[in-house]
Amino acid sequence: MLKGFTRNFPLFKILTEEQVEAIHRGTLDVLQETGVSVYNERALKVFKKADCDVNFETKRVKFPPGLIEECLRKAPSSFRVKARNPKNDLVIGPGNILFFNFPGTGTVNLDTWEPRTATEKEHVNLIRVLDALPNVHFLNAYPYFGFSDGIPEIMKEIEGVALRMRNSTKVTVAIANNDIDIFTIKMAKATGTEIFANPNTSSPLTYYTDQVNACFLAAEYGLPSMIWDGATSGGTAPASLAGAVVLSNAELIPFIVLIQLLNPGARVSVANLVLAQNMTNGAPAFGEIGVSLHNVAFNQVWRKYGIPTVCSSCGPTSSKRIDFQLGYQKMMPTILSAISGSSVLQLYSSIYGEITAHPIQAVLDDDIAGMIGRFLEGIEVNDESLAIDLINEVGPIPGHYLDKAHTRNWWKKEQLVPKVADRLTYPEWMKAGKKSCIDYAKERVNEILAVHKVDPPLTDNQEQDIERILKEAKEHYQKKGLITDEEWEIYKEALKESGRPY
């Protein structure tokens, strides 16, 4: 099992108990009065059977508060997720803080800072770096959206899943568009790993059929779910933070109700990707600090529900470069989420929005994760660490602590030494060529890529299964017309180039 970071002090809270109640009450009211639109007949029937007020014409479902509270109670507050290699099993639950990566569509050129599609090799390298970093506890869907331009849109993530299965033994996430998760889950099954089902809400208060089907798949295969909500306050959610928390919670709860109705006690967690709207250009305001206020309040409400939370909004920033702005836009939401009770933080490897990611950035973020982990451990207070006898013995100047056994015993326990931060003095730094953290991160990435091996690699049988499932997927989407004949020809060429069968 992977050990996450342990928080040794009480949760940081920003709402009073009364404010939490007001948000909860508002959420129940919205679900009862207005309800949600569910574009999925199977789900409408399930809700109807559980005594929800269902209008099959308008697809509107309204929820009795008793049912909501019962379903919230059925969800476990802590659970295990099994990886292909048991050493990578996860425990998702309070007080154990895990990290994973936030994806980018593509990579970024570290000189011009312009985004571009990753090659297959770059895609594999990012997976390998994430597999190697001990504080990346599992992998998100992607990390890049496919590779090269020859792969049809619909096959990009399925090809990506195959790369993750081959190059990592960590748990990963299945996305739910156009049946992609059907093939993803088959691959996971073939390789003996669990995978997160990933139903996404559509704001405001709407659920499309593929996303709902993800809940049915989770029930069918007995998989854990990570439910995402990505409302934009001021666009698809109220501009006031309290209202945005009400709305996003009202959106997450119906999925939990459905999952618990299908499979009582099923493992669920809720991921918060609520962002503010950038009012000057209409895009989400990545890196905005109000997002952290939303997330801290969100954590506090969900702690009351006893359901683990995932902070996704700490991943994307509005900087296009690995620079000062990126540093504070990643550090602030991540530490605030960690001390306020997120069980999982989606920090690693992302740069701008959901557009760019880079393995160098993953290695840089590893130092942030380490620092946050050290902070969460808190301060050890006991007779030895208080060191009263030692202080009395050393006394005033010329006494000092450098030559004491106590210092030798303790400094390594107390201090975290970062992996790629520049910690030199000016003279040392000048002599060593004025290296910055990016220079050191490049070195660490090269080192990881030179030595890291996936443990264990897939067996021959598992490899064959992956290829078979890929083939099934290609045929499935050709038949559905999602891969055109023209795309198919280019696809074949692309696969040939990378030396792969088709």
Which of 337, 342, 350 has the alpha carbon at shortest distance from 310?
342
Minimum Å gap between C-beta 240 and another protein is 4
Span between the terminal Cα atoms of the chain, in Å: 36
CA distance 185 to 320: 34
Interface residue with another protein, options 66, 134, 222, 399 (CB under 8 A)? 399
Span of 117-125, 307-315, 325-333, 475-483 interacting with another protein by CB under 8 A: 325-333
Q: How far is the CB of 63 from another protein (least distance, A)?
A: 13
143/234 with CB nearer another protein: 234
- Position among 402, 433, 460, 499 found at the interface with another protein (CB under 8 A): 402
Q: Which is nearer to another protein, 286 or 477 (CB)?
A: 286
Tell how far CA 450 is from the center of its chain: 27
Region near another protein per CB under 8 A, out of 21-29, 67-75, 445-453, 479-487: 21-29
Chain positions 172 to 191 lying near another protein, rule: CB under 8 A, are none
Amino acid at 301: V
Q: Is 198 left (phi over 0), alpha (psi -120 to 50) or beta?
A: beta
Smallest separation (angstroms) from another protein to the CB of 428: 7
Q: Interface with another protein by CB under 8 A: which range of 107-115, 121-129, 157-165, 262-270?
A: 107-115
Q: Which is nearer to another protein, 1 or 279 (CB)?
A: 279
Minimal CA–CA distance to 421: which of 412, 411, 413, 429? 429
Interface with another protein (CB under 8 A), residue total 128
Residues in Cβ contact with 268 at an 8 Å cutoff, skipping those fewer than 6 apart: 75, 224, 225, 226, 227, 255, 256, 259, 260, 307
d(CA 219, CA 197): 10
The only residue of 238, 306, 467, 498 in contact with another protein, by rule CB under 8 A: 238
Say if CB 373 and CB 5 are below 8 A apart: yes
- Min dist CB 131 to another protein, Å, is 23
Piece in contact with another protein (CB under 8 A), picked from 93-101, 124-132, 243-251, 490-498: 243-251
Site string for another protein, 422-451 (x = CB under 8 A): xxxxx-xxx---x-xxx-------------
Q: Is 354 in the site for another protein (CB under 8 A)?
A: no
- Output the 3-class SS for 218-251: HHHHCCCEEEEECCEECCCECCCHHHHHHHHHHH
9 binds another protein (CB under 8 A): yes
Q: How far is CA 494 from CA 151, 342, 448, in A?
A: 7, 41, 28
Which of these segments, 47-55, 63-71, 73-81, 236-244, binds another protein (CB under 8 A)?
A: 236-244
- Residue in 4, 143, 146, 287 binding another protein, rule: CB under 8 A: 287
Residue 281 sits in the site that holds another protein (CB under 8 A): yes
Q: What is the largest CA-CA distance in the chain?
A: 85
Q: Does 396 bind another protein (CB under 8 A)?
A: yes
Neighbours of 263 (CB within 10 A): 19
User: Min. distance of Cβ 133 from another protein in angstroms?
Assistant: 17
Give residues 134-163 in contact with another protein (rule: CB under 8 A).
none
H helices of 152-240, in order, are 153-167, 180-190, 209-221
Could you give the C-alpha distances from 77 to 92, 178, 307, 315, in angstroms and in order?
Answer: 8, 31, 5, 24
Member of 77, 117, 177, 318 binding another protein (CB under 8 A): 318
- Binders of another protein among residues 405 to 424 (CB under 8 A) are 406-407, 409-411, 414-416, 421-424
Within residues 202-231, the interface with another protein by CB under 8 A covers 202-206
Q: Report H helices in 314-459.
A: 324-340, 359-377, 383-386, 388-394, 405-414, 426-431, 437-451
Nearer to another protein, 189 or 406 (CB): 406
Segment interacting with another protein, rule: CB under 8 A, options 84-92, 141-149, 329-337, 447-455: 329-337
Q: Which residues of 266-277 are buried (b: 16+ CB within 10 A; e: fewer)?
A: bbbbbbbbbbbb
Angle at Cα 316 formed by Cα 312 and Cα 321, nearest 5°? 155
CB of 434 to another protein, least distance (A): 6
Q: Give helix 241-262 / helix 209-221 axis angle, nearest 10°.
A: 50
**Burial class for 79, CB neighbours closer than 10 Å (0-12, 13-18, 19+):** middle
Q: Scan residues 63-92 and list those touching another protein (CB under 8 A).
A: none
Choose one: 40-48, 79-87, 161-169, 198-206; the region binding another protein (CB under 8 A).
198-206
In 3D space, the residue among 318, 419, 323, 314 whose CA is nearest the CA of residue 99 turns out to be: 314
- Structure token digits, residue 457: 């690699």
Tell whether omega for the bond before 94 is within 30 degrees of 0, i.e. cis: no
Site for another protein in 28-47 (CB under 8 A): 29-30, 33-34, 36-37
Complex with another protein: residue 191 or 319, whichever CB lies closer: 319
Q: For residues 326 and 473, which CB has a smaller minimum distance to another protein in the complex?
A: 326
Q: Does 327 bind another protein (CB under 8 A)?
A: yes
